[in-house]
Homo-oligomer: A and B are copies of this chain.
Amino acid sequence: MQQNVHFITFSTADLDVAREFYVAALGWMPLMDVPGEIIFFQIAPGVMLGLFEGGKFNEDLADGNDHSAVSGVTLSHNVGSPDEVRAVVGAMVAAGAAVLKAPQPGAFGGIFHSHVRDPNGIVWEVAHNPGWSIGEDGTVSFG
C-alpha cells in the first residue's frame, strides 16, 4: 500500500452551515458542491477535504452503524507566527467556530497553537510550528 491519503471525508450534520463557514465566511473555493450531499475542497497538492452529509456518510459505509459523531481527529493548519495563529482563530470564531483551547504555547516542539471547533464538529488546530517546514518538492521536515 502506497503511503498516500487522497481524501479526508467527514460526516457533516449541516452542509449549508458548512458552506456558510468555509465558503462565505472564510473564502474557501469548493472544487465541487452538491447541495444536500457533499462539498469538496482541495486542501493540499493532490488532497481533497470532503464534507459528506451525515445520512449519506452512513449509507456509504453501509455497516449499519451511525458514524455521525465526529471524534478522535484533528486537522492542523500551520501559519507563520503566533500573531497569525491569533488572527486565524479570530477569523474562525467570527465565522462561527468555538474555541476549545485559546492560543497558547503547546506542550512540545516549541509550537504556539489553539484548538477551534467548526460549526459541524470538526476540530482544527491552528499552529505556529517553528521546527516544521515544507520543501519545494513538498517534503516535510521537522526540527
Query: Is there an interface contact between B48 and A140, defined as CB atoms closer than 8 Å?
Result: yes
Query: Is there an interface contact between A73 and B2, defined as CB atoms closer than 8 Å?
Result: no
| Copies in the assembly, this chain | 2
Residues of B within 8 A of A2 (CB): 77
Query: Is there an interface contact between B70 and A73, defined as CB atoms closer than 8 Å?
Result: yes
Interface string of A27-56 (1 = CB under 8 A from B): 111011000000011111111110000100
Size of the A side of the interface (Cβ < 8 Å), in residues, is 64
CB distance from A13 to the nearest CB of B (A): 10
Say which residue of B9, B27, B121, B139 sits within 8 Å of A42 (CB atoms): B139
Say which residue of B57, B92, B107 sits within 8 Å of A59 (CB atoms): B107
Distance between Cα atoms of A2 and B85 in the complex (Å): 12
Say which residue of B3, B9, B32, B137 sits within 8 Å of A28 (CB atoms): B3
Query: Is there an interface contact between B72 and A8, defined as CB atoms closer than 8 Å?
Result: no
A71 and B74 in contact, given A3-B28, A44-B5 (Cβ under 8 angstroms): no
Distance between Cα atoms of A106 and B57 in the complex (Å): 12
Residues of A within 8 A of B (CB): 1-11, 26-29, 31-32, 40-49, 54, 57, 59-63, 67-78, 88, 91-92, 100-101, 106-107, 115, 121, 123, 125, 132, 134, 137-140, 142
